[in-house]
Amino acid sequence: MKGRNFVGVGLVGFGTIGTGVVKVLERNADVIEQRLGFPLRLVRIADLDTTSDRGVDVSKIRFDDDSAGLIADDSVDIVVELVGGYDFARKLILDSIGAGKHVVTANKALLALYGREIFGAAAKQGVEVAFEASVGGGIPILRSLREGLNANRIESVHGIMNGTTNYVLTEMEKTGEDLDVVVKRAQDLGYAEADPTLDIEGVDAAHKLTLLAAMAFGAELTYDEIPTEGITGLTPVDFEAAEEFGHRIKLLGIAKSHLDAAGGERIEVRVHPTLVPAGSLLAAVDGAMNAVAVTGDAVGPTLFYGAGAGELPTASAVVADLIEIAREVRRGSAGRVAPLSYLPTELTAKPLVPLGEISGRYYLRFTAVDRPGVLAHIASVLGENEIGIESVLQKGRAQSAGSVPVLILTHPAREAAIRSALEIIDALDDVTAPTRLIRIEEGL
Amino acid sequence: MKGRNFVGVGLVGFGTIGTGVVKVLERNADVIEQRLGFPLRLVRIADLDTTSDRGVDVSKIRFDDDSAGLIADDSVDIVVELVGGYDFARKLILDSIGAGKHVVTANKALLALYGREIFGAAAKQGVEVAFEASVGGGIPILRSLREGLNANRIESVHGIMNGTTNYVLTEMEKTGEDLDVVVKRAQDLGYAEADPTLDIEGVDAAHKLTLLAAMAFGAELTYDEIPTEGITGLTPVDFEAAEEFGHRIKLLGIAKSHLDAAGGERIEVRVHPTLVPAGSLLAAVDGAMNAVAVTGDAVGPTLFYGAGAGELPTASAVVADLIEIAREVRRGSAGRVAPLSYLPTELTAKPLVPLGEISGRYYLRFTAVDRPGVLAHIASVLGENEIGIESVLQKGRAQSAGSVPVLILTHPAREAAIRSALEIIDALDDVTAPTRLIRIEEGL
């Protein structure tokens, strides 16, 4: 920024979030300068679509489709990548780093797969890569792990990190409607994509959990290593039963550190619908909101709540990254050593805890012929596998084809034992559909 | 830190929090080094009591009662002030700054009164003063205002910032007991000081709100300018009535920005017991926990939750400050320009909104003779002052001396109108005790 009195920002990708970034930089320019002491100026925008009206005045900003030119522009200190997707975004970020530009991105999918390459290139070049907006939208959760809680050995992370699924779950609970109906409405309202698969199947949450696990535990993993279940297959009866059992259903990304006596560490990571206690803070997170609960060995339980998506909340996080980097650029101290909270040399591929080894209470929805003795049979198989029953609920009489749902809350058991029992139970003649298992998390 | 491979810390005040800091620096030394790339080392402790057993091994650390020697010690880069109180702590911090040492403190009372002097001295000397532990214990709320949400124009802050009072309120609600009984138990359990006045009367929350208002709005004020009401005078009937009205009672510190059409800004600040909607996240914050809800113009509503006090949670915040400063010391870039989030030159004494001008719904507990026509009389005075009644609750028959509590929830009204009405009502013959007013906050 020699010869200039401002730090310059180039924006690539002028969609919803990009428009939010333009709005925030424009309308809060005064506050930002009161915090920085100099202007943070958007100097250039690149997008293939240079004609659509985004409802913001960019007549004084150079705006074309030349992202290579933007990267090469001397007045650009920081490149904001809001293109999304893999190939183009990856090249854009690596080219920016190669040109000595700092990078801000919200692209969790990219970082969850190519993080090692991107952070490695940035470290080599001595530039910053910041990505607060990639997890939890406007919630400063990455910064809190990297800075606010960094005196702690992090013990666990539990996050509601996908607004679309949380909206769908909240609506299903409230209305008693089927998943398809609610997803359709979410699409009509703009809360769900035309193809909602990445959200509904938990993949987006797994992308975010990959980044959280790196920041919390220094664990290097890619998102496809995370056992992931989406919310498909949940039915209105699950929500009714959860309520009667004193719980609510949330799609959680969960990461825990397991230390053994010799100091060895294994990491438990998983994404799935989860029963959480009705009185817990996570249970109170409704609609499209997000929250991440973090437990540290010193601080104990904490929770961070806010909008997980949307134009302005996400822009809030992008601009916070811009402000942080701008300050460093101005000081001449930019070139973050530990973007993932741990030094790159300390990130290691820690062994993962197999799902069969985890232990907890389970909600089981059996679908069985409505005939005397069936419950006794199911209970006896559970007993043989040393799974205790805490509560049983049988909803009405046969709903379809002579079958009824039988809902059981177990005492704590190992998942391997649950799976063995379910294999036997699901093969019984009287059991007419595969049993649905939902894990329960305590102490939230 | 020339010639040294570590950043050195000197601790003054080896009480509860100090012991926590020693524990965290000791047991998490490996994690901290994996984040920093070099050791953060406690090199010296000063306390008048050099003999008590704190349950931690400090045999390898120089420990005496010589705080002046600690400040002068070349191996100390950062001085941690955990003495508390005013005179000695103020001198210690100013002397440390004068000696070119960075300072970490948890002393909200001191900063809320002498912040201007201390931050001014630090800016002049080019050293850092960090104080995350002074608000919200282990919750990284100050860092989140300074960094995570700094792209926003902050609109409001609502904080449960005093664990003692939140514990007392939670217990009173749960048990139906009187304030005195619960405070006594809180003292026995160590949740309340022998003299709990500063907590119970809201002064501690006002200290913290002073710092939050500076960070949120750049508003320079001292805590004694904040209208402050404590929790004394709350009775079991208030908790019962609040529940029936769908609310819970919390002691909140509230700060809001009022922008007029010409861009002028006034600040509304107040500390008092507040009715919050039963379904809100703040209502779910129980016991000694703290939470701060922040609304920004871009991010919308956010909430930060965690332990507001205690040895290890508070130490978590102190050590986070140490890590941040240590990194800067190592880079040679220490000397924060904006410890209060806004540049010192941008902090101004903004006009405060008088309490009479605020508007909202009110809970009113009248104490009146149990006689026909009394309620009508009260209602007519309210009506004459254009205060609408939303709900009325009359609890049982005369409890003492022929008087009964009459509980009213008003429609939104200006506080000046409420006060005018109460002045008339409290002078009625049938009204036997001053009316208790509790403000209601919406939209949390």
Confidence (pLDDT) at B398:
53
The H-assigned helical ranges of B190-291 are 197-200, 203-217, 236-244
* CATH number of the domain enclosing B398: 3.30.70.260
Of these residues, A101, A108, A208, A256, which one is catalytic? A208
Same domain assignment for residues B83 and B180? no
Residue of A nearest to B341 (CA): A35
- B218 contact residues in A (CB cutoff 8 A): 34
**Structure-token pair, residue A57:** 């005045």
Residue A234 scores a pLDDT above 80:
yes
The pLDDT of residue B396 is 65
Whether the CB of B55 is below 8 Å from some CB of chain A: the reply is no
Going by pLDDT thresholds of 50, 70 and 90, the confidence category of residue B139 is very high
pLDDT of residue A390: 97
**Are A150 and A267 within one domain?**
yes
- Is residue A444's pLDDT more than 90? no
Beta bridge partners of B8: B41
The span from the CA of A35 to the CA of A37, in Å, is 6
Contact A299 B305 (CB under 8 A): no
CA B15/CA B196 separation, integer angstroms: 19
Q: Are residues A117 and A217 in the same domain?
A: no
- Interface check for B340 against chain A (CB to CB < 8 A): the answer is no
> Is A104 in the same domain as A204?
no
User: Which among A143, A297, A302 is the nearest to B147, CB-wise?
Assistant: A143
pLDDT, position A17 = 96
Total domain count, chain A: 3
pLDDT at B399: 55
Residue A133: closest C-alpha in chain B: B148
Would you tell me which residues 351-390 of chain A have a C-beta closer than 8 angstroms to some C-beta of chain B? none
- Tell me whether residue A78 is in a domain: yes
Report pLDDT digits (tens) over A164-184: 999 999 999 999 999 999 999
The sign of the CA dihedral A364, A370, A376, A377 is negative
Q: Both B269 and B374 in a single domain?
A: no
Nearest chain A alpha carbon to B23: A298
Q: B392 in contact with A at a CB cutoff of 8 Å? A: no
Q: Residue A437 pLDDT > 80, yes or no?
A: yes
Q: Are B297 and B384 contained in the same domain?
A: no
- Residues in A closer than 8 angstroms to B132, CB to CB, are 148
- Render the burial of B157-176: b for 16+ CB within 10 Å, e for the rest: bbbbbbbbbbbbbbbbbeee
Residue B195 lies in a domain: yes
Cross-strand bridge partners of residue B9: B42, B78
Q: Which band of pLDDT confidence, cut at 50, 70 and 90, is reported for residue A2?
A: low
Q: Please state, as a whole number, how many other Cβ atoms lie within 10 Å of the Cβ of residue A33.
A: 16
Report the alpha-carbon distance of residue A16 to residue A6 in Å, rounded: 26
Q: Which of A261-275, B94-108, B375-389, B398-412 has the lowest mean pLDDT?
A: B398-412
Cβ partners under 8 Å of residue A182, min gap 6: A168, A171, A172, A175
Question: Is there a domain that residue B173 lies in?
Answer: yes
Predicted pLDDT at B2: 65
Chain A residues whose beta carbon lies within 8 Å of the beta carbon of residue B317: 148, 151, 299
Which 8-state DSSP code applies to residue A125? H
Co-location of B162 and B273 in the same domain: yes
> Would you place residue B1 in the very low, low, confident or very high pLDDT band (cuts 50, 70, 90)?
low
In total, chain B counts a number of residues equal to: 444
> CB-based burial of residue B53 (10 Å sphere; 0-12 exposed, 13-18 middle, 19+ buried)?
exposed
Residue with tokens 């009964």: B404
Domain interval for residue B125: 7-138+312-345
Closest Cα in chain B to A31? B153
Mean pLDDT of B146-154: 97
Task: Choose, out of B145, B170, B316, the residue to mutate when testing the contact with A (most A CBs < 10 Å).
Answer: B316
Euclidean distance between CA atoms B96 and B377, whole angstroms: 63
Choose the closest CB to B138 out of A279, A302, A333: A302
Residue B183 tokens read as 């405070």
pLDDT (0 to 100) of residue B49: 97
B332 contacts on A by Cβ (under 8 Å): 333
**CB atoms A35 and B315 under 8 Å:** no
pLDDT at A399: 55
Instruction: Give the percent of chain A with pLDDT over 90.
Output: 91
| Count helices and strands in chain B by DSSP H and E runs | 14, 17
**Residues B259 and B131 reside in one and the same domain:** no
Q: How confident is the model at residue B395 (pLDDT cuts 50, 70, 90)?
A: confident
- Region A333-351 average pLDDT: 89
Q: How far is CA B245 from CA A94, B178, B248, B364, B421, in A?
A: 58, 20, 9, 12, 22
Output DSSP code: residue B230.
-
Tell me the pLDDT tens digit for each residue of A292-336: 999 999 999 999 999 999 999 999 999 999 999 999 999 888 887
- Check CB contact of A132 with chain B, cutoff 8 Å: yes
Range 252-281 of A in CB contact (< 8 A) with B:
279, 281
Q: Which of B101, B108, B208, B350 is catalytic?
A: B208
- Tally of helices (H runs) and strands (E runs) in chain A: 14, 17
Q: Quick check: is A349 in a domain?
A: no
The Cα angle at residue B286 between residues B281 and B288, in degrees rounded to 5 = 130
Using DSSP's 3-state secondary structure scheme, residue B418 falls into helix
The CATH number of whichever domain residue A335 belongs to comes to 3.40.50.720
Rounded distance between C-alpha atoms, residue A10 and residue A121, angstroms? 20
> What values do phi and psi take at A127, rounded to 5?
-120, 170
Please tell me whether residues A202 and A298 are part of one structural domain: yes
Burial-class residue A176 by CB neighbours within 10 Å (0-12, 13-18, 19+): exposed
A residues 185-224 closer than 8 Å to B (CB) = 218
Mean pLDDT of chain A: 95
Residue-level pLDDT at B397: 61
Q: Does some domain include residue B350?
A: no
Please check whether residues A366 and A433 belong to one and the same domain: yes
Q: Which residues of chain A from 18 to 47 reach within 8 Å of chain B, CB to CB?
A: 20, 23-24, 27-28, 31-32, 34-37
A208 is catalytic: yes
The answer, for A316 touching chain B at a CB cutoff of 8 Å, is yes
CA distance B30 to A302: 22
SS3 A439: strand
Residues A149 and A96 both lie in one domain: no
Mean pLDDT of A197-217: 97
Residue at B1 is within a domain = no
Q: Give the distance from CA A201 to its chain's centroid.
A: 12
pLDDT digits (tens, 9 = 90+) for A57-98: 999 999 999 999 999 999 999 999 999 999 999 999 999 999
Same domain, A205 and A133: no
Pick from B149, B316, B338: CB nearest A316: B149
Q: How far apart are CA B59 and CA B45, in angstroms?
A: 11
Q: Does A324 touch chain B (CB under 8 A)?
A: yes
Query: In this predicted complex, what is the ipTM?
Result: 0.96
Token readout for B52 is 């008590």
Q: CA nearest A139 in B: which residue? A: B302
Q: Tokens 């949380």 label which residue?
A: A166
Predicted TM-score (pTM) above 0.95: yes
Q: Which CATH number goes with the domain that contains A300?
A: 3.30.360.10
Contact A105, A127 (CB under 8 A): no
Give the chain A residue nearest B283 (alpha carbons): A281
Taking CB atoms and an 8 Å limit, are B316 and A301 in contact across chains?
A: no
Asked, for residue A104, whether it belongs to a domain, the answer is yes
B166: pLDDT strictly greater than 70: yes
Query: Which residue of chain B comes nearest to A279, CA vs CA?
Result: B284
Chain B positions touching A152 (Cβ under 8 A) are: 24, 28, 31, 316
Average pLDDT, rounded, for chain B:
95
Query: B147 contacts in A (CB within 8 Å)?
Result: 140, 143, 147, 320, 323-324
Confirm or reject contact between B176 and chain A (CB < 8 A).
no
- In angstroms, the CA A31 to CA A24 distance is 10
Q: What are the residue ranges of helices labelled H in A190-251?
A: 197-200, 203-217, 236-244
Predicted pLDDT at B363: 98
- Spatial neighbors of A338 by CB under 8 A, at least 6 apart, are A146, A344, B35, B37
Q: Which residues of A touch B312 (CB under 8 A)?
A: 297-300
Using a CB-CB cut-off of 8 Å, the residues of chain A touching B20 are: 298
Q: Contact at 8 Å (CB) between B291 and B144?
A: no
Q: Which residues of B touch A315 (CB under 8 A)?
A: 151, 298
Query: Is A424 among the domain residues?
Result: yes
* pLDDT tier at B400, thresholds 50, 70, 90: low
> Contact, B213 vs B221, CB < 8 A?
yes
Contact flag A298-B312 (C-beta cutoff 8 Å) = yes
